[in-house]
Amino acid sequence: MHRGIAVLSKLGVDVGGVILYKHHSSSKEIPGAVDALFQLAQAGVEVHIISACFTDKMRLNTMEWFEDNQFYGRSGVSIENVHFVKQREQKLYKLRVLGVNAFIDDRDDIIDHLHSGGIGNLYWFNIDGINPKRPKCLQNPGVTEVQTWGDVLFEIL
């Protein structure tokens, strides 16, 4: 279902498994991620990066990757819109504080948590359909599976 930016003026996006591949030593970018973020920003969507970094080293490594790869200029995301939390469950609080009612994450447990917390537009990022099982989060209204950043753009723009 194509939702459109009138509904999604603010969008939260996770990093690991959504913008960057997880468990990749060089923090490889997921194809189309940064370009899609730029298109969303150009369309007037206020994009917030909200990621769980359990240690300061994880946070610093992510920030370093953003700087080294010109993430801010290429994505249109402001450095002020990059937020880190210590625990995944804190994403809900951060979304509420920022007034963000849409989020993209690759973890179905986080999607379930955000749905139960009242976040209305959720996108489970199942990169290239790599996860063949259908998680229960997809049974919830307002939760959509996306497998590519092209899917994300189709759903939001």
pLDDT at res. 27: 79
Contact 146, 126 (CB under 8 A): yes
Residue 120 included in any domain:
yes
Residue 122 included in any domain:
yes
Number of domains in the chain: 1
Could you tell me which of 153, 131, 155 has the C-alpha nearest to residue 32? 153
Average pLDDT over residues 128-142: 81
Residue 29 included in any domain:
yes
- pLDDT tops 50 at residue 11: yes
For residue 84, give its domain range.
10-156
Residue 55 included in any domain:
yes
Q: What percent of the chain has pLDDT over 90?
A: 73
Distance of CA 59 to the CA centre of its chain: 16
pLDDT at res. 3: 55
Residue 5 included in any domain:
no
Tens digits of residue pLDDT in 77-133: 999 999 999 998 899 999 999 999 899 999 999 999 999 999 989 999 998 777 777
How far is the C-alpha of 150 from the C-alpha of 143, rounded, in Å?
17
Residue 3 included in any domain:
no
CATH of the domain at 76: 3.40.50.1000
